[in-house]
Amino acid sequence: MCVNKSILLMSVGFGFAPPLLALDVVMAGAFGSKAVLVVDGGAPQTVGVSQSTREGVRLRALVGQTATLEHEGRAFQARVGEHAASAPGGSASEVSLVADGGGHFFADATVNGRGVRVLVDTGATLVALGRNEALRLGIDYRSGQPGQSETANGTARVWRVKLDSVELKGMRLYGIDAAVHESELPYVLLGMSFLGRMDWRREGDRLLLKKRY
């Protein structure tokens, strides 16, 4: 997995404010429970969890170097070492991902409104995540349908659940089937229960995704 260790964060949201009110948000740093935000090229502002900038950008959560922000009721994410173009509100209908040095497509996303790191996996039938990640996301996986899954390491115990929403770079889908593994996974696998609801194609080192429904 390719992770940029830089302190500087140049990233903007996956979900944005309504038209004409979109903001360009750059996260210039993160320490403890506080983030340093630069909004529309202004002076840096340090905010804690549940606090807002002068422009009304609120820090909802900060996990490591990933911040969940909110503006005008819309949540989006910022992460160290990434940058995306700001855009007006609404759920995106098309996004582009760039492969890492190993040819894998990693991205920041949200599951049920909370930030996660995902790996696009066209070989996975469902979105898949580990037990502890599910607990962090507030998923009561033990109320799901128990079963087994064949993995590279053998048979794994899983629970099938339905996620309220999955959002990838502003593209939000609802009611996504997922499998919670009893063992831990290093990241969330973005499988065909999400990818199957869109058209996608690879162009060089880019993966283009277009929402179908």
List, for residues 3-54, the tens digit of each pLDDT value: 332 222 223 233 333 333 456 777 888 888 898 888 877 788 999 999 998 8
User: What Rg, from alpha-carbon coordinates, does the chain have?
Assistant: 17
94-211: CATH topology is: Cathepsin D, subunit A; domain 1 (2.40.70)
Whether the pLDDT of residue 87 is over 70: the answer is no
pLDDT of 1: 36
Residue 80: pLDDT band by 50, 70, 90 thresholds? low
Nearest Cα to 173, choosing from 195, 143, 189? Answer: 195
Residue burial 62-85, b: 16+ Cβ < 10 Å; e: rest: beebbbbbbbeebbbbbbbebebe
Domain boundaries, given as residue ranges, for the chain:
1-90, 94-211
Nearest Cα to 190, choosing from 135, 122, 139, 132? Answer: 122
List the beta bridge partners of residue 97.
Answer: 207
Residue 136: pLDDT band by 50, 70, 90 thresholds? very high
Angle at 96 between CA 30 and CA 213, to 5 degrees: 110
pLDDT of 93: 66
Whether the pLDDT of residue 139 is over 80: the answer is yes
Retrieve residue 57's tokens.
């950008």
